Amino acid sequence: MNMVSIIEKKKQGETLSQEEIKYVIQEYTQDCLPDYQISAWLMAIWFQGMNRQETHWLTDAMRFSGDVVDLAAIHGIKVDKHSTGGVGDKTSLIVGPLVAAAGIPVAKMSGRGLGFTGGTIDKLEAIPGVQTSLPEEEFIALVNRIGLSIIGQTAHITPADKKLYALRDVTATIDNTSLIASSIMSKKLASGSDAIVLDVKCGNGAFMEKLEDAVKLAEMLVELGKDAGKNTVALITDMNQPLGNAVGNGNEVWEAIQTLKGEGPGDLTELALTLAGMMIFVGEKAKTPEEGTLLAKKMLKNGEALKKFREFVEGQGGSGQVVEDSSLLPQPAYFIQVKGPFIKGYVTGLSARQIGIASQMAGAGRVTKEEEIDLAAGIRLLKKVGDSHQPGELLAEVFGNHPDKVKQGALEAEKAFAIGTKAPKKTPIILEIIT
Residues marked as catalytic: 82, 161, 168, 183, 187
Distance separating alpha carbons of residues 163 and 156, to the nearest angstrom? 12
Q: Which residue, 311, 308, 337, 314, is CA-closest to 414?
A: 337
Q: Distance of alpha carbon 354 from its chain centroid, rounded?
A: 18
356 in helix, strand or coil?
A: helix
Give the ranges where 265-327 is alpha helix by DSSP (H). 266-282, 289-301, 304-315
3-class SS of residue 148 = strand
Which residue type is seen at 30? Q
**Could you give the C-alpha distances from 12 to 34, 48, 52, 245, in angstroms and in order?**
21, 8, 18, 48
b/e for 379-391, b at 16 or more Cβ within 10 A? Answer: bbbbbbbeeebee
DSSP assignment of 385-420: TT-EE-TT-EEEEEEES-HHHHHHHHHHHHTTEEEE
| CA nearest neighbour of 229 among 198, 193, 281 | 193
